[in-house]
A and B are shown apart, each in its own frame.
Chain A
């Protein structure tokens, strides 16, 4: 059972480039999330999804887009990378209300 799988683990982007962070879960969870971790700031919610075809903005959505065409996949798209998007990105999923989140191993992104 792989859980939540994120790719890539590391990436360096130039300003203005685009990329997609991939997230896949094999637990048949309806709820999926993207967070970014900034030093001293904890985890900030970028986007979330409560099921296939449904997405919603979190606390810091600007500069990002998501889609949820299947239950398993929840990719995060950066269209025009900016230095402010340098961060560690975590994807997570959960099953029912009384369960904790399962996190992926993270993607460390640097924009130069």
Chain B
């Protein structure tokens, strides 16, 4: 089981503000990192799969960066909207299975 930590556990953001949060993981034997978006009463939805140190991926107003040498990834939300309210999960894979962090729950206030 791969140890994945996410911080903060939750955060509140005013609509229109930008925010970011962290996923930390062991830097040794890195294979790939996943980000998922999980809305209440739905199932997790894949955002990004990141494999290379220095990777930067973007999907609309959401982007992510990866530093495999120091063992962290940041997820950024630019200009938060109420529909961005969700739990964002980070997960580490050894190519066979994912180990998930506990998630960061984002609440965007109008």
Contacts and interface: CB of A to CB of B under 8 A. Distances in A.
Q: Do A and B come from one complex?
A: yes
Interface stretch (A19-27, A62-70, A73-81, A93-101): A93-101
Contacts of A2: none
Interface in B64-110: 89, 95-103
A45 B46 contact: no
A93 to B, nearest CB: 12
Contact of A33 (B34, B42, B47, B97): B97
Contact of B97 (A58, A103, A105): A58
Interface in A13-51: 31, 33, 35, 40-45, 48, 50
A85 B12 CA distance: 32
**Most chain A CB inside 10 Å of its own CB: which residue of B48, B98, B100:** B98
Contact of B96 (A43, A50, A104): A50
Given A59-B1, A97-B32, A98-B32, A48 B99 contact: no
Contacts of A97: 32, 95
Nearest to A42: B102
B51 interface: yes
B101 A42 contact: yes
A110 interface: no
B44 interface: yes
Interface of B: 1, 32, 34, 36, 42-49, 51, 89, 95-103
